Amino acid sequence: MAQYRVLKQSFINGELFAEGALVEYDGEVAENLELVKKGSKAAAAPEQEISEPSFSDVPTGV
């Protein structure tokens, strides 16, 4: 999740935060929040290296 600084007293995720508080939030952001630290998305699976087939790998059917 991203981290934001509360610019004016705000009710976020069912909790009241004072001006200056730091919150982690993943929802739609309005003018009451200032981005402090970008959140990371779920880690993507590492890409697998795909090798190009060579002519010797192809079955000939003979």
Contact 32, 8 (CB under 8 A): yes
pLDDT digits (tens, 9 = 90+) for 9-32: 999 989 999 999 999 998 889 999
pLDDT, average across residues 37-59: 60
pLDDT at 13: 87
Q: Where are the domains of the chain?
A: 1-39
Question: What is the pTM for the complete model shown?
Answer: 0.60
What are the strands of the beta sheet with 22-25, ordered from one edge?
A: 22-25, 2-6, 33-37
